[in-house]
């Protein structure tokens, strides 16, 4: 006779919030550098799609930290929500044009977001950061796949649009005579 097995997910014991270990100082420093490098690369126009997705993953991670951690007030959560909207705007621009960059107001918002992300990195406990990073990676893989498909559709529709406008332009040129032609 076989024994019954428990199909519940195993529970990992975690200390209370105040006793959980925080991120190490070198981890906080490395995260701060990553935040700055991504924003500066996007601001200077040197960023590619991979940099966009790394930056988006960071914003997703810290927005999840703001949701999971009760120590952050509503203004921090609202600022992280605005950060997610900023990521959406930059990703939509990349889908349409292939360019990864900020406008002026977006750059100011991104730099303010970096300051909040750095403050969160200093205060978050390690288990919450790990849970947020795991969630962010799973979410980002779905979002990235959908965005890549939309980008491919945008690239496929651009030549058709250009062809239609190129065919329309000669028709307009035929209607107006050239100033040096005999018909003028």
pLDDT in tens, the chain (184 residues): 678 888 888 887 878 877 888 999 999 999 999 999 999 999 999 999 999 999 999 999 999 999 998 888 899 999 999 999 999 999 999 999 999 999 999 999 999 999 999 999 999 999 999 999 999 999 999 999 999 999 899 888 876 665 555 555 544 444 555 455 455 4
CB 101 within 8 A of CB 47: yes
Amino acid 168: pLDDT: 54
Residue owning tokens 């990521």: 87
- Please give the model's pTM, rounded to 2 decimal places: 0.77
Amino acid 19: pLDDT: 83
Residues 6+ positions from 155 with CB-CB distance below 8 Å: 98
Amino acid 171: pLDDT: 46
Amino acid 184: pLDDT: 46
Looking at residue 59, the DSSP 8-state letter turns out to be: H
Residue owning tokens 């690239």: 155
User: What is the DSSP track for 102-149?
Assistant: --HHHHHHHHHHHHHHHHHHHH-BHHHHHHHHHHHHHHHHHHHHHHHH
Residue owning tokens 């050239």: 178
d(C-alpha 18, C-alpha 11), whole Å: 20
What is the chain's alpha carbon radius of gyration, rounded to the nearest angstrom? 25
Both tokens assigned to 49? 């799609």
Amino acid 14: pLDDT: 79
């Amino acid at each position: 006779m076989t024994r019954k097995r428990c199909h519940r997910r195993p529970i990992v014991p975690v200390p209370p919030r105040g006793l959980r270990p925080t991120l190490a100082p070198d981890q906080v420093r490395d995260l701060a550098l990553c935040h700055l490098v991504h924003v500066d690369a996007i601001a200077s126009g040197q960023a590619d799609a991979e940099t966009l997705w790394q930056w988006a993953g960071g914003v997703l991670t810290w927005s999840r930290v703001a949701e999971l951690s009760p120590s952050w007030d509503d203004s921090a959560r609202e600022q992280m929500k605005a950060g997610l909207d900023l990521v959406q705007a930059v990703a939509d621009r990349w889908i349409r044009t292939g360019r990864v960059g900020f406008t002026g107001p977006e750059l100011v918002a991104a730099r303010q977001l970096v300051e909040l992300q750095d403050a969160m990195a200093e205060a978050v406990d390690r288990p919450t950061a790990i849970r947020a990073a795991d969630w962010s990676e799973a979410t980002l893989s779905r979002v990235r796949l959908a965005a890549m498909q939309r980008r491919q559709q945008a690239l496929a529709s651009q030549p058709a649009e250009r062809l239609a406008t190129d065919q329309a332009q000669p028709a307009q040129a035929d209607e107006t005579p050239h100033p040096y032609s005999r018909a003028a």
